A = this chain, B = another copy of it.
Amino acid sequence: MASDHTRSAILAAAERLYADRGFGDVTLRDIVAEANVNLAAVNYHFGSKDELIAELFVTRSIATNRERLHELKTAEEQGGGRAPIEVILRALVGPTLRGCLGPQNQRSTAARFMIRASIESVPPIRRIKNREIDHLRKFVGAMRRSLPDRSDVEIYWGLNFALAMAHHTIRESERLTKLSEGKCDLDDVEDVVARVVSVATIALTAGRMEAKAPARALARDAR
């Protein structure tokens, strides 16, 4: 074990390079040069390039999932086993959005890395994402408890659309900024979270609980 200095230097360098240049453009030689370590150190400490990438992604992924579940658990405890659907959806998309968006010039390396991982889909990361289903099932359960008279199919579609809006907004944040000529402020993360949650909520509740549904989904900034 010793100091682990080499190991963490590789992790830091790799995360930074991948964040900046993407997975396709960065070789092990780039990484070890940035980290000032020997080429063989990567295979010594991580086994392979893919395992290095996997470790980077898993670390961040676990952190996000923990935040999600913490928010969910807190909400359900406060509501005596049942949380409002808005709060559940906020727990689902909030941590991801907060982890990736925010003022561009002060985005952490981790944030930029996760955006890359969301845009480029390399095998080791895809493998990990496929294991995420069990995690999502916990949200399905909470959503069922929150909306007991909604069918499973509706729940699944609502969850799918909520994740869709969050991930797509992250992936295509640059394009949305360009398309809207800066009118869509992606630096205001809490506003983005509120928009996604609002639309997902209304999608799941429209026609059933009109009284509880937010009156205006996207109309926050209506003139």
Selected contact of A195 from candidates B157, B216, B217, CB within 8 Å: B157
Also in contact, A219 and B223, with CB within 8 A (given A123-B24, A202-B203): no
Asked if A215 lies at the interface with its beta carbon under 8 angstroms from chain B, I say yes
17 interchain pairs, CB-CB under 8 A: A140-B179, A149-B223, A151-B222, A152-B180, A156-B180, A159-B179, A161-B199, A163-B168, A164-B165, A164-B168, A203-B217, A203-B218, A204-B218, A206-B219, A207-B215, A207-B217, A208-B219
| A46 CB to nearest B CB, Å | 20
Asked if A221 lies at the interface with its beta carbon under 8 angstroms from chain B, I say yes
Seen from chain A, the residues whose Cβ lies within 8 Å of a Cβ on chain B are: 24, 119-123, 130, 133, 136-137, 140, 149-154, 156-161, 163-165, 167-169, 172, 175-176, 178-180, 183-184, 195-196, 199, 202-204, 206-208, 213-219, 221-223
Beta-carbon contact of A157 and B140 below 8 Å: no
Alpha-carbon distance A120/B203, docked complex (angstroms):
29
Contacts of A175 in B (CB 8 A): 130, 133
Contacts of A223 in B (CB 8 A): 149, 151
Contacts of A203 in B (CB 8 A): 199, 202-203, 217-218
Beta-carbon contact of B140 and A218 below 8 Å: no
Selected contact of A217 from candidates B122, B140, B202, B214, CB within 8 Å: B202
| A78 CB to nearest B CB, Å | 26
Closest 5 CB pairs of A and B: A207-B216, A164-B168, A206-B217, A156-B180, A199-B203
Residue of B nearest to A129 (CB): B175
Selected contact of A120 from candidates B121, B140, B150, B184, CB within 8 Å: B121
Contacts of A140 in B (CB 8 A): 179
| A216 CB to nearest B CB, Å | 3
Alpha-carbon distance A157/B119, docked complex (angstroms):
20
Beta-carbon contact of A184 and B153 below 8 Å: yes
Contacts of A199 in B (CB 8 A): 161, 199, 203
Alpha-carbon distance A193/B154, docked complex (angstroms):
15
